[in-house]
Amino acid sequence: MGFLDKKNESAIYRQSITTLISEGSIVDGSLTAKAFARIDGHIKGDVDITDGIILGKHGSIDGDVRTKEIVVHGKVNGNINVNAIEIGATGVVTGDINTASLAVETGGIYNGRLVMNAILSQ
């Protein structure tokens, strides 16, 4: 199972969310934050979040993503550089992924090039 086993909820869901982009919000430009973020709106630009990202099913990112871990329930159009990624059943990723850990739930969609490495330094 991935790090988002539904029977054993992922640790990312138990973290304090310090950055929230709510549904209907649009950020036109890069987003940078030091802790965990939940994105339910739309980001038009690169995203660099130090600890982790939860991308809700209505959330989308048009740009490259760099973080430690990410759970994708929405859409990412861009390259992802991450230690661990889970693409949920409603998630869509179009772009290259560079990661140490990948999990895709049934229904999740991934189109791109995958490079598996040891844990990446942040």
- Tens of pLDDT, residue by residue over 1-53, are 344 445 555 666 666 777 889 999 999 999 999 889 999 999 999 999 999 99
Model confidence, pTM: 0.86
Which amino acid is present at 114?
L
Residue 110 parent element (H or E): strand 109-111
pLDDT, residue 1, reads 36
Enter the DSSP assignment of 27.
Answer: E
- HEC assignment per residue over 38-107: EECCEEECCEEECCEEEECCCCEEECCEEEEEEEECCEEECCEEEEEEEECCCCEEECCEEECEEEECCC
Which of 81, 57, 58 has the alpha carbon at shortest distance from 70? 81
Which of 82, 84, 89 has the alpha carbon at shortest distance from 109? 89
Given the structure tokens 């040891």, which residue do they identify?
118
pLDDT, residue 14, reads 64
The mean per-residue pLDDT over the stretch 96-112 comes to: 96
pLDDT tens-place string over residues 52-62? 999 999 999 99
| Residue 78, pLDDT above cutoff 80 | yes
